[in-house]
Amino acid sequence: MADADAATRAEGTVRLQVAPARQEESGRGIARMPRGTFQTLGLAEGDIVEITGKRATAAFAVHAYPEDEALDVVRLDGL
């Protein structure tokens, strides 16, 4: 997934690379992002964020997996 999307909120915009969600989380409307992104955007886990790219969608903000914390990625499913 080479598309770069932006996770947005009233406090600001962060540009993240899109990576696929794990299969067990597919269809749940989750956006897994690093804790640094939460701090930059002023988010709390469970907040709803707007993800924009080719189209816009909403998702629940959830902390990234430990192995993804150092990466600037957001894990999304195809929905």
Residue-wise pLDDT for 23-74, tens only, equals 988 889 999 999 999 999 999 999 999 998 888 889 999 999 999 999 999 9
pTM: 0.78
How many residues belong to the chain? 79
Q: Compute the distance between CA of residue 30 and CA of residue 49 in angstroms, rounded to an integer.
A: 10
CA angle 34, 37, 41 (to 5 degrees): 150
Using the predicted structure, report yes or no on whether residue 5 has a pLDDT greater than 50: no
Q: Compute the distance between CA of residue 19 and CA of residue 29 in angstroms, rounded to an integer.
A: 14
- The ranges assigned to domains in the chain are 4-59+68-76
Spatial contact of 65 and 48, defined as CB atoms under 8 Å apart: no
Alpha helix ranges (H) inside the chain: 35-41
